[in-house]
């Protein structure tokens, strides 16, 4: 029944809107009817996802519009507003629907009919699809669909989407209903006995509607108490239990977290290996020059920087879809709500925040599971403060090189490990403070209700899980990927131009003279002598000379000039202008800072992953001095100040791009970058100043 968009039939395609509560099997029904969506994007001006699938039934082309899952058509949230706008034909780019399919969960009909009866009153041709009918049967729930159809005045069909039972009949019914006059529902009794006069119209409507639904369902639904209901209860009893629930929760989260951390690593290595291989081919084919540099250091580095995120995104969305599909996601939010409520977030923020420890990008994308727009935005804004895996190499290098390896209290606990843990704690603490402050200032407004359904336990549907993974990966590549590549190319250009060979040679020569002068000025026995001599003799080897040239070129580029320009800003952090320069250059991604430090301190190209290169970098950094002096740049307070800066800063263009795409706004990435940079500077400043004072 499903075909790719064909050109059969000369009539206009029918527009059919798919409406329903969350957790009703709506996505499964969408896939069963329309297959893979032909269009996924955002509705104009809002961050609500637009999903349209085109399929052919009989001789008609049907555009199936998947409306956001909603409990009510009272337009309060952006989701509900979109649903109402589409249904009333007021949504730009979506024709008024010819037919509405309301998805109603057969296991939970009473509450599902709330939305269904609201939809019937819109005066559009409507079909009600009773989903999860198979589960309802196993739960001992029997529904007289014919009688329900008679009482509601619209067709009611049983469907079991995964086995395609009733799907063809639903298609036939859609075609039949689309051409027929809309239902004429009996108006609600405006003043039922239970309604008090002082209630608001919306409250009265809700009470009257449930009174009506109870009448409609009287005699239509039969429940026979069976064992599976108590099984559901027993699962819930364990998984929301004080002790067992927490144990299962911690184990599940650890498993997910470690797999996005470790399972993704081999795949990411494979990707970066592949990109390196392509870069090597490009280097051997293309002649040395600006074109090669653009392709290898700009385009390929940018594309590699995008594709590298795919394994983590795919894995996280796989697990989130799995948890969502079986009903655990809501339980996790239930367990964690109290903890996060204290800082102005909600339980639903937990998984996005936890996954941000691996990488903020999948974390921010998974905030899509938070329906409440305020909580979602707040979560997105603080997620990048979780120390992601890209910060780890920076921490490891600096902790290993500049934090003394002394025991703290007990012999097995070493200071570098304590500092490393402290960096993670700094991120969490600052995120908590930021969330707390924002939720009480910028995001105050009206209190947002936390009213969350805990769906029944069920087996996740594989096709829905895989579709979620595919959707997330594709939307990341399409929406964020191109922009990330563009940013990488811009930063490459800033680090490569202007390039004047004469000036570079002059600088290398001047460097050598400075080194010679310093060596001559040192007394005959001095610990620094050997280092200086080694540095000088390195300039005589071809590799050393090339490294010095690269360093000089980068220092003279726009980026290098920017580094010198911001020196007064970074000096209070204990940094020389080269460090400032490296911080700017790491804007595309934090981990780039290691490579940049290598280049800028004349080490040549280093691979931060390889141990030997890292130790060469460590030696180079330990030897680095302030321009023209013997004063070392890297001391313990400076190393700590760099780490705190990188723990809090927003030096990750991809994260900012994804924040922009996920919030559908250019404002929020700017806000995130600004507040994080300010905090990073203040944190680094306090660390350096305090550290210098205490460690004098």
Point out which residues bind another protein (CB under 8 A). Answer: 71-72, 74, 76, 107-111, 114, 194, 196, 199-200, 202-203, 206-207, 210-211, 223, 233, 236-237, 240-243, 245-246, 330, 333-335, 337-339, 341, 347, 446-456
Q: Name which of 337 and 576 has its Cβ closer to another protein.
A: 337
Q: What does each C-alpha distance from 661 to 49, 318, 467 come to in angstroms? A: 12, 21, 20
Q: Name which of 335 and 399 has its Cβ closer to another protein.
A: 335
**Closest approach of another protein to the CB of residue 451, in Å:** 5
Which residues lie below 8 Å from residue 643, measured CB to CB, with a gap of 6+?
Answer: 394, 395, 398, 399, 419, 423
The DSSP line for 308-341 is: TTHHHHHHHHHHHHHHHHHTHHHHHHHHHHHHHH
Closest CA to 478 of 658, 301, 664: 658
**Closest approach of another protein to the CB of residue 326, in Å:** 14
**Closest approach of another protein to the CB of residue 24, in Å:** 11
Q: Name which of 232 and 689 has its Cβ closer to another protein.
A: 232
Q: What is the C-alpha separation between 192 and 309, in angstroms, rounded?
A: 57
Phi, psi (rounded to 5 degrees) for 521: -75, -20
**Closest approach of another protein to the CB of residue 286, in Å:** 59
**Closest approach of another protein to the CB of residue 383, in Å:** 22
Q: Say how many C-beta atoms besides its own lie within 10 A of residue 3's C-beta.
A: 12
Q: What is the C-alpha separation between 71 and 83, in angstroms, rounded?
A: 11
**Closest approach of another protein to the CB of residue 105, in Å:** 8
Q: Name which of 106 and 167 has its Cβ closer to another protein.
A: 106
**Closest approach of another protein to the CB of residue 18, in Å:** 20
Q: What is the C-alpha separation between 256 and 429, in angstroms, rounded?
A: 23
Q: Name which of 166 and 347 has its Cβ closer to another protein.
A: 347
**Closest approach of another protein to the CB of residue 119, in Å:** 14
Classify each residue of 629-662 as buried b or exposed e, where b means 16 or more C-beta atoms within 10 Å of its C-beta.
eeeebbbbbbbbbbbbbbbbbbbbbbbbbbbbbb
Residue 297 token pair:
């250091």
Angle between helices 611-623 and 391-402 (to 10 degrees): 60
What is the torsional sign of CA 312, 34, 479, 320? negative
Which residues lie below 8 Å from residue 278, measured CB to CB, with a gap of 6+?
Answer: 300
**Closest approach of another protein to the CB of residue 673, in Å:** 32
Q: What is the C-alpha separation between 83 and 103, in angstroms, rounded?
A: 14
Element (H, E) at 240: none
Q: Name which of 330 and 655 has its Cβ closer to another protein.
A: 330
Q: Name which of 203 and 686 has its Cβ closer to another protein.
A: 203
Q: Name which of 268 and 343 has its Cβ closer to another protein.
A: 343
**Closest approach of another protein to the CB of residue 210, in Å:** 5
Q: Any bridge partners for residue 103, and if so which?
A: 20, 129
Phi, psi (rounded to 5 degrees) for 57: -130, 125
Q: Name which of 55 and 249 has its Cβ closer to another protein.
A: 249
Q: Say how many C-beta atoms besides its own lie within 10 A of residue 22's C-beta.
A: 18
Q: Cβ distance 680 to 423 under 8 Å?
A: no
**Closest approach of another protein to the CB of residue 206, in Å:** 4
The DSSP line for 515-538 is: HHHHHHHS-SS-HHHHHHHHHHHH
Residue 552 token pair:
């000089």
**Closest approach of another protein to the CB of residue 75, in Å:** 12
Q: Say how many C-beta atoms besides its own lie within 10 A of residue 538's C-beta.
A: 18
Per-residue DSSP letter, 410:
E
**Closest approach of another protein to the CB of residue 346, in Å:** 9
Phi, psi (rounded to 5 degrees) for 38: -90, -20
Closest CA to 686 of 636, 625, 645: 645
**Closest approach of another protein to the CB of residue 74, in Å:** 7
Q: Name which of 108 and 379 has its Cβ closer to another protein.
A: 108
Q: Cβ distance 374 to 448 under 8 Å?
A: yes
What is the torsional sign of CA 317, 318, 321, 323? negative
Q: Name which of 299 and 341 has its Cβ closer to another protein.
A: 341
Q: How many residues are present in the chain?
A: 696
Q: Name which of 235 and 396 has its Cβ closer to another protein.
A: 235
Residue 576 token pair:
């020389």
Q: Say how many C-beta atoms besides its own lie within 10 A of residue 498's C-beta.
A: 10
Q: What is the C-alpha separation between 37 and 382, in angstroms, rounded?
A: 32
Q: What is the C-alpha separation between 95 and 85, in angstroms, rounded?
A: 11
Q: Name which of 242 and 502 has its Cβ closer to another protein.
A: 242
Residue 488 token pair:
């990488």
**Closest approach of another protein to the CB of residue 342, in Å:** 10
**Closest approach of another protein to the CB of residue 71, in Å:** 6
**Closest approach of another protein to the CB of residue 246, in Å:** 5
Q: Name which of 168 and 440 has its Cβ closer to another protein.
A: 440
Q: Name which of 192 and 460 has its Cβ closer to another protein.
A: 192
Q: Name which of 200 and 284 has its Cβ closer to another protein.
A: 200
Which residues lie below 8 Å from residue 437, measured CB to CB, with a gap of 6+?
Answer: none
DSSP SS3 for 653: helix
Q: What is the C-alpha separation between 293 and 300, in angstroms, rounded?
A: 10
Q: Name which of 338 and 696 has its Cβ closer to another protein.
A: 338
DSSP SS3 for 250: helix
């Amino acid at each position: 029944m499903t075909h790719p968009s064909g050109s059969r039939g000369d009539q206009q395609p029918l527009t059919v809107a798919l409406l329903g509560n969350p957790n009703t099997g709506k996505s499964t029904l969408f896939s069963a009817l329309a297959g893979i969506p032909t269009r996924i994007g955002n509705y104009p001006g809002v961050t609500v996802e637009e999903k349209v699938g085109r399929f052919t039934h009989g001789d008609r082309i049907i555009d199936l519009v998947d409306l956001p899952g909603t409990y009510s058509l009272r337009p309060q949230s952006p989701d509900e507003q979109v649903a109402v706008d589409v249904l009333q034909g007021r949504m730009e780019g979506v024709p008024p629907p010819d037919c509405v399919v309301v998805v109603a969960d057969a296991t939970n009909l009473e509450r599902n009919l709330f939305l269904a009866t609201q939809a019937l009153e819109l005066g559009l041709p409507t079909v009600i699809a009773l989903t999860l009918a198979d589960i309802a049967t196993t739960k001992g729930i029997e529904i007289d669909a014919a009688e329900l159809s008679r009482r509601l005045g619209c067709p009611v069909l049983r469907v079991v989407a995964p086995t395609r039972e009733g799907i063809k009949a639903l298609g036939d019914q859609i075609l039949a209903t689309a051409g027929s006059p809309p239902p004429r529902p009996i108006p609600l009794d405006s003043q039922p006995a239970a309604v008090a006069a002082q209630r608001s119209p919306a409250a009265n409507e809700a009470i009257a509607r449930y009174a009506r639904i109870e009448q409609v369902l009287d005699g239509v639904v039969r429940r026979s108490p069976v064992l599976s209901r108590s099984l559901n209860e027993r699962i819930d009893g364990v998984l929301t239990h004080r002790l067992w629930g927490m144990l299962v929760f911690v184990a599940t989260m650890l498993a997910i977290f470690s797999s996005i951390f470790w399972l993704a690593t081999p795949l990411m290595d494979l990707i970066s290996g592949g990109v390196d291989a392509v870069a090597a081919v490009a280097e051997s084919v293309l002649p040395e020059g600006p074109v090669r540099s653009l392709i290898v250091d700009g385009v390929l580095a940018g594309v590699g920087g995008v594709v590298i995120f795919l394994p983590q995104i795919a894995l996280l969305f796989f697990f989130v879809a799995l948890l969502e599909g079986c009903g655990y996601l809501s339980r996790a939010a239930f367990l964690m709500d109290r903890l996060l409520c204290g800082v102005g977030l909600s339980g639903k923020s937990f998984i996005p925040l936890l996954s941000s420890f691996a990488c903020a990008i999948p974390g921010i994308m998974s905030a899509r599971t938070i329906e409440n727009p305020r909580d979602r935005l707040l979560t997105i804004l603080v997620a990048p403060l979780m120390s992601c895996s890209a910060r780890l190499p920076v921490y490891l290098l600096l902790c290993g090189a500049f934090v003394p390896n002394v025991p703290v209290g007990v012999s097995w606990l070493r200071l570098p490990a304590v500092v490393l843990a402290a960096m993670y704690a700094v991120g969490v603490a600052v995120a908590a403070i930021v969330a707390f402050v924002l939720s009480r200032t910028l995001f105050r407004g009206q209190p947002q209700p936390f009213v969350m359904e805990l769906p029944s336990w069920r087996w996740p549907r594989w096709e829905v899980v895989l579709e979620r993974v595919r959707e997330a990966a594709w939307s990341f590549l399409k929406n964020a990927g191109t922009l990330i590549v563009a940013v990488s190319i811009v930063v490459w250009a800033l680090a490569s131009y202007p390039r004047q060979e004469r000036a570079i040679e002059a600088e290398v020569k001047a460097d050598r003279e400075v080194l010679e002068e310093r060596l001559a000025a040192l007394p005959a026995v001095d610990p620094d002598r050997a280092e200086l001599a080694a540095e000088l003799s390195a300039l005589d080897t071809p590799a050393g000379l090339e490294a010095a040239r690269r360093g000089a070129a980068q220092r003279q580029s726009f980026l290098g000039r920017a580094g010198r320009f911001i020196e007064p800003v970074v000096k209070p952090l204990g940094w020389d202008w080269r460090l400032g320069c490296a911080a700017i250059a790491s804007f595309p991604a934090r981990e780039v800072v290691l490579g940049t430090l290598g280049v800028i301190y004349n080490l040549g190209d280093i691979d931060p992953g390889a141990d030997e290169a890292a130790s060469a970098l460590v030696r180079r950094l330990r030897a680095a001095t302030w321009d023209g002096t013997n004063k070392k740049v890297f001391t313990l307070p400076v190393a700590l100040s760099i780490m705190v800066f990188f723990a809090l800063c927003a030096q990750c263009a991809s994260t900012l791009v994804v924040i922009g795409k996920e919030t559908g706004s250019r404002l929020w990435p700017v806000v995130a970058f600004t507040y994080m940079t300010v905090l990073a500077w203040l944190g680094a400043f306090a660390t350096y100043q305090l550290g210098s004072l205490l460690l004098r």
